[in-house]
Chain A
Amino acid sequence: MASKIDQMRKGTTTVVILKLLMDVGEPLHGYEIIRRLEARSQGYFRFKEGLIYPRLHRMEQEGLLESRWLGEPGTRRRRVYATTEKGRHQLEAELQQWEAVRQGMSLLLGLEKARS
């Protein structure tokens, strides 16, 4: 059961990162993204912190995010990430899918009554 939940978490990482960055409205670095996701999910969304970076880099390769460095060379520079237009479109599409899944599963599991 724990393994299945972990798989679900892995599958949702992209959409939760996009949603967080859209809601915050400013670029964030990896550490800040991890902290805010944990806080938002009240501890539910927690995994090895460093794994955020391969995910962020893949999202950037896919064109969903763009990054830039903050700070001068020789100081503690941070790489911050922001959504792209493509990332915003993908987020909209995934949120619609999630809503459809949520409604369907709620009905099937009897968590919600069907509207007559």
Chain B
Amino acid sequence: MTVDDVLARIHAHLDLDAEREHELLEEIRAHLEEAVEVVRARGLDEEAALAEAAARFGVEEVGRELQAAHVGWGTADGVIAAALPVLCALVLRWLVFAPDGTAVGWREVLVRPAFWVVSLAALLLPLLKFPRWRYALASWAFFWALSVVFFAWPALRW
């Protein structure tokens, strides 16, 4: 048995995004390696030390608890990441266009405080909500992509 074998048993309980799983397992690898070193210092061989460290670690139970701790969070954030830029783009669309689709000029759009408030909210809310800034940037990019479509296609109806 190796540390990789123990990590594989924990990994079998995980169904998260790849980056999160990698970070979780890297954290646990450091723990197991240190625990093995401590046990080996008492005179046990590598395999016995790992067996003891794994038994003290609680492999199966920890795998289940880690999954439970992380699974719901990812799903909720995915929904927010998709919905927030759409909502902000729709609000922006209604702020800068008349309901009949008549577009306001660009110069007038840029001096409207509401434009800047909505644009900043579309960036700041994800930055505050998501621990990874690149998810926030992706959300903000999606917001601008939708807004550009609305600006460039004022006749778009829904």
Contact = CB atoms under 8 A, between A and B. Distances in A.
Partners in one complex: yes
Interface of A: 29-31, 47-51, 53-54, 57-58, 61, 76-79
A54 B26 CA distance: 14
Closest 7 CB pairs of A and B: A48-B58, A50-B62, A54-B65, A50-B57, A54-B69, A31-B31, A79-B27
B137 interface: no
B59 interface: yes
Contacts, number: 59
Chain B interface residue number, banded? 20 to 34
Interface of B: 23-24, 26-31, 33-35, 56-59, 61-62, 65-66, 68-70, 73
Nearest to B67: A54
Contacts of A61: 69, 73
Give the dominant DSSP class at A's interface. Answer: helix
Contacts of A48: 56-58, 61-62
Given A51-B61, A53-B28, A54-B62, A76 B73 contact: no
